[in-house]
Amino acid sequence: MKRLDTKGMTASELKALLVKPSFDQVRLGKGAKARIRQVFGQDLTAAQVVDTIVGAVRERGDAAVIQYTKEIDGANVTAATLEVRAEEIDAAYKQVDDETLAAIRQAAANVRRFHTEQLPRSWFTERDHGSLLGQKCIPLERVGIYVPGGTAAYPSSVIMNAIPASVAGVQDIIMVVPPAKDGSVNPYVLVAAHEAGVSRIFKVGGAQAIAALAFGTDSIPKVDKITGPGNIFVTMAKKAVYGYCDIDMLAGPSEILIVADKTANKRYIAADMLSQAEHDVLASSILITDSSELAEAVEEELMIQLQQLPRKEIAEQALQQNGLILVTETMLEAMELANLSAPEHLEILTAEPFALLPYVRHAGAVFLGPWSPEPLGDYLAGPNHVLPTGGTARFYSVLNVETFMKKTSIIAYSQQALLAAGNQVIRLAEAEGLEAHANAIRVRRESSC
């Protein structure tokens, strides 16, 4: 992990430290490269792998989905077992203990309540001469949500994707999740899907799942939009199918940036930095502070807490590769650097955290004060945890209800209103050389004489 003082550093040096590489610049590890050679018989880039899979699924449908699920995930599924059956969901409920079920239901309730408050409204406004203008907010008909799976379990991702869609009014929510090698899906994920209102669940992951949702197969219906986080292959597949359907965002590895002053608790900071580092070796954990003493104390505390983690090796590698502690002269400089990074998660641990909130311009989610740790947002608080990463918080929004809706403009002019506006419409149409546009006004004006 690097610990640096920003005094004397140039803007370009700071930018090099804080501006993250694009998601498609992620380098594949040795294991991934070996697996690609095994499956495809040659060395391919991530983009080439995705192009191959997407093309195959578009052309061969279920056959390609089943093929790659076996070759990549090692799971034997058939057209008959591709979709999760009702009895599998019933069995999942029997495997989930009462306390965890209660937590899933509470998280779902909190997320539903928060997102219900986001619902946009349709509206009309009256203008001159009795004309009406307005906007109609319409839910998408069918969406696909991607949930990471296999050996991992992410019921929280199910809740965060499915419930905003449900609140928006989407009638058909299709979920895809990579199965385990025995063809099963984690019971927590299945229970969360049922609680969140998912319509259908399919045992498929990776680029093949994204392609199946985008183009449709005999088993998996085509959707209007795909949301949800995934690995580099999932993200690049979403980019590849954009235009055939919509997507939420192009996400990369997890990240946290903490702005703290001398009043912050070193143990809290270290724990929160490690909460992201344990995700992935590519995860980013950054502390920016105006206190040299705090910077040194946090660095020491990180090493202490790291030793206690079951995922120590992953977290340690993440800190070595992407961990950073910066010491600034002022807190305003710290906020400027935070905005330069545009982090997925921004924690402000200062004596007066709300005083710094007006200075936040780029962040996926902001956590204020010592009692608002990032994992609270991951699971239970209510706001969505599907957030822009890799600096894309400069232009992407958090997943929300409007992600699953579209807006249609409404125009209703009266005869008097059209006659009053007609000359200007004609002039603009003629300026663009579109005579038929102008005639559409003229014929109405003539019939009104």
Positions marked catalytic: 344-345
Cα(403)–Cα(140) distance, integer angstroms: 9
DSSP 222: P
HEC assignment per residue over 4-30: EECCCCCHHHHHHHHCCCCHHHCCCCH
Cα(112)–Cα(160) distance, integer angstroms: 9
Cα(289)–Cα(292) distance, integer angstroms: 8
Q: Where are the alpha helices (DSSP H) in 307-434?
A: 312-322, 331-341, 353-356, 374-379, 415-431
Q: Under a CB-based contact definition with an 8 Å cutoff, are residues 323 and 2 in contact?
A: yes
Nearest partner of 279 among 395, 163, 164, 385, judged by Cα: 385
Residue 377 backbone dihedrals phi, psi, to 5 degrees = -70, -30
Cα(82)–Cα(179) distance, integer angstroms: 10
SS3 for 257?
Answer: strand
Cα(255)–Cα(388) distance, integer angstroms: 10
Q: Under a CB-based contact definition with an 8 Å cutoff, are residues 349 and 369 in contact?
A: yes
Residues 6 or more apart whose Cβ sits within 8 Å of residue 354: 368
